[in-house]
């Protein structure tokens, strides 16, 4: 079998992976980033809206521009970015102390991939919602619609029903409007809107109804979606029978949450915690983003779904820590850089919007401390 080696292998060239690559390669490490896509950037190149926050988090800059800036930095840092490159497995053996070898399909060829450190930055996947008619053509994830519109310039349909009012549902609805589609309504099963008020307000100003305590009960059509049936939900979340109504739509977009892509971390043997606010099971990690498996780091949505700015900062942390552990950064230099990143992360997780994420991250770090304590006592 063909072989590839690097000091640090990063799985995923999204916000987190690119920042990790930049930090580690600019410190002097031989870095290889593998991404299964044909284009780097992960979710960033779909994000045509301007980012929020402060100047240091590139507020006011559109997501795809941030992606271009990151790519430029990574190119100058000397990291190798392999596209069309799927890491399909990680294969630990008993008693192994180094990070396990990986299996890579690069442009159709199989390789054994070895690294002194691994950073898994595989992102998140969209959740699905089953309902009668949900397999009809025209029903898709909101992220898929976003890819069609913002990357391929193709409208998924003319009249869209969006299910889910988190930020993804709200932002993608607005982007569909901008692309020329009609958004029949945004449905939200909870009694309140999930995403930021500023995104909801833009939709309302454009005349899009946002129906809280509502769900889709059926997609109707012979060979594709032609109509949808929606209904109001009562206090216990049950459908109120006489509230059902049918509306015309040829596309249903599901924006019903994201789940971290944790398969490779499970294969490595990492310990996990179940944190609903982060999208489910997430790998335990230290402040340096190192998991319970020596030399295996995680960063970005795989550690808990947040947003692109936090993914970038976690990538920075993982890249700095991996480079330090291999001697490419002095302890003092790494500590200085880490301190700056942690300060920025703290700001991102502050305020009322960041509170739940801050609490969830604290819970995740506390579970890691408990694990380390348990391991030390057992040793
Ligand atoms: C559909 C969707 C829409 C979103 N919209 C917004 C938004 O509007 N604003 C916002 O702030 N945040 C948004 N987010 C969240 C935001 O994109 C993320 O927080 C951030 O981009 C995560 O960065 P990441 O690097 O962790 O993952 P990603 O950007 O998803 O990158 C992960 C990369 O890993 C690659 N990969 C995965 N597994 C493998 C493997 N086994 N081998 C090789 N490559 C692999 C993928 O191809 C992908 O390129 C969205 C997320 C999703 C899924």
Q: CB of 172 closer than 6 A to ligand 1?
A: no
* pLDDT score recorded for residue 38: 87
Beta strands in the chain (DSSP E): 2-11, 31-34, 80-82, 85-90, 102-106, 109-120, 124-126, 139-141, 159-163, 182-188, 210-212, 214-220, 227-232, 245-248, 251-254, 258-260, 272-275, 280-283, 296-298
CB atoms within 10 A of CB 313: 27
Ligand 1 contacts CB of residue 326 (under 6 A): no
- What is d(CA 247, CA 200) in angstroms, rounded to the nearest whole number? 21
Best substitution site from 11, 14, 34, 70 to test ligand 1's pocket, by max atoms within 8 Å of Cβ? 14
Give the C-alpha separation, 85 to 233, whole Å.
44
What is the phi/psi pair of residue 24, to 5°?
-75, -40
Given 3-state DSSP classes, what are the helix, strand and coil percentages for the chain, each rounded to the nearest 5?
40, 25, 35
Contact between 50 and 68 under an 8 Å Cβ cutoff? The reply is no
Assess whether the C-beta atom of 42 lies below 6 angstroms from ligand 1: yes
What order of strands is seen across the sheet that includes strand 251-254? 139-141, 251-254, 159-163, 182-188, 210-212
Distance from the CA of 267 to the center of ligand 1, in angstroms?
Answer: 20
Per-residue pLDDT tens digits of the chain, which is 379 residues long: 899 999 999 999 999 999 999 999 999 999 999 999 988 889 888 888 777 666 677 777 788 888 888 999 999 999 999 999 999 999 998 887 789 999 999 999 999 999 999 999 999 999 999 999 999 999 999 999 999 999 899 999 999 999 999 999 999 999 999 999 999 999 999 999 999 899 999 999 999 999 999 999 999 999 999 999 999 999 888 999 899 999 999 999 999 999 999 999 999 999 999 999 999 999 999 999 999 999 999 999 999 999 889 999 999 999 999 999 999 999 999 999 999 999 999 988 887 778 889 999 999 999 999 999 998 888 6
With a CB cutoff of 8 Å and minimum separation 6, the contacts of 308 are 15, 43, 44, 47, 51, 63, 66
Ligand 1 centroid from CA 232, angstroms: 32
Q: Which residue has the tokens 């690559």?
A: 21
Token output for 44: 């960033």
Q: Which atom belonging to ligand 1 lies closest to the Cα atom of 51? A: 11
CA of 261 to the centre of ligand 1 (A): 9
pLDDT at 54: 66
Q: Which residue, chain included where needed, has tokens 């579970």?
A: 367
24 C-beta closer than 6 A to ligand 1: no
At 190, list the tokens: 């909870």
CA-wise closest residue to 9 among 150, 112, 146: 112
113 lines ligand 1 (CB under 6 A): no
Structure tokens at 273: 């915690």
348 lines ligand 1 (CB under 6 A): no
Cβ-based neighbours of 167, under 8 Å, separated by 6 or more: 194, 195, 196, 199, 307
Give the residue whose CA is nearest to atom 12 of ligand 1: 307
The two tokens of residue 371 are: 């694990």
Residue for token pair 């739940």: 356
Give me ligand 1 centre to Cα 14, in Å: 6
Tell me how far CA of residue 265 lies from CA of 79, 90, 177, 308, in angstroms.
23, 8, 38, 20
Give the N- to C-terminal CA distance of the chain in Å, as an integer: 38
Closest residue (by CA) to atom 51 of ligand 1? Answer: 43
Look at the chain and count its residues: 379
Angstrom distance (rounded) from CA 250 to CA 270: 43
Q: Give the number of the atom of ligand 1 that is nearest the alpha carbon of residue 143.
A: 1
Distance 115 CA to ligand 1 centre (A): 23
Average pLDDT of the residues of the chain: 94
Ligand 1, atom 34: closest residue by C-alpha: 12
Ligand 1 center from residue 156 Cα (angstroms):
21
Report in angstroms the alpha-carbon separations of 217 from 75, 212, 213, 231: 48, 15, 13, 7
What's the gap in Å between 307 CA and the centre of ligand 1? 9
Report CA(306)–ligand 1 centroid distance (Å).
10
Reading phi first (left if > 0) and then psi (alpha if -120 to 50, else beta), residue 173 is in: alpha
Residue 126, ligand 1, Cβ within 6 A: yes
């Amino acid at each position: 079998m063909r072989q590839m080696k690097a000091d640090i292998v990063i799985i995923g060239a999204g916000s987190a992976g690119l920042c990790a690559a930049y930090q580690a390669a600019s410190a002097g490490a031989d870095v290889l980033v593998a991404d299964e896509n044909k284009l780097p950037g992960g979710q960033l190149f779909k994000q045509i809206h301007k980012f929020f926050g402060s100047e240091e988090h590139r507020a006011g800059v559109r997501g795809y521009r941030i992606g271009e800036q990151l790519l430029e930095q990574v190119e100058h840092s000397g990291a190798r970015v392999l596209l069309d490159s799927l890491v399909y497995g990680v294969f630990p053996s008993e008693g192994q102390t180094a990070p396990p070898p990986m299996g890579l399909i690069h442009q159709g060829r199989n390789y054994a991939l070895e690294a002194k450190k691994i950073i898994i930055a595989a992102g998140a996947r969209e959740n699905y919602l089953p309902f009668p008619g949900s397999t009809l053509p025209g029903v898709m994830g909101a992220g898929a619609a976003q890819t069609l519109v913002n990357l391929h310039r193709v409208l998924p349909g003319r009249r869209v029903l969006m299910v889910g009012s988190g930020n993804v549902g709200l932002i993608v609805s607005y982007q569909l409007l901008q692309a020329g589609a009609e958004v029949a309504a945004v449905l939200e099963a909870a009694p309140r809107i999930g995403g930021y008020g500023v995104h909801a307000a833009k939709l309302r100003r454009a005349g899009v109804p946002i129906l809280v305590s509502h769900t889709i009960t059926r997609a109707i059509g012979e060979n594709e979606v032609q109509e949808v049936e929606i209904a109001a939900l009562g206090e216990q979340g049950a459908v109120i029978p006489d509230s059902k109504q049918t509306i015309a739509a040829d596309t249903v977009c599901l924006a019903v949450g994201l789940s971290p892509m944790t398969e490779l971390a499970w294969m490595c043997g990492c310990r996990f915690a179940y944190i609903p606010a982060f999208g489910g099971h997430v790998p335990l990690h230290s402040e340096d983003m190192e998991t319970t498996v020596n030399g295996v780091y995680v960063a970005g949505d795989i550690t808990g779904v947040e947003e692109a700015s936090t993914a970038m900062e976690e990538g920075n942390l993982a890249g700095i820590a991996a480079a330090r552990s291999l001697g490419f950064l002095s302890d003092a230099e790494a500590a200085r850089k880490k301190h700056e990143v942690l300060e920025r992360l703290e700001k991102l997780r502050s305020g009322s919007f960041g509170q739940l994420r801050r609490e969830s991250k604290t819970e995740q770090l506390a579970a890691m401390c408990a694990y380390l304590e348990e391991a030390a006592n057992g040793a």
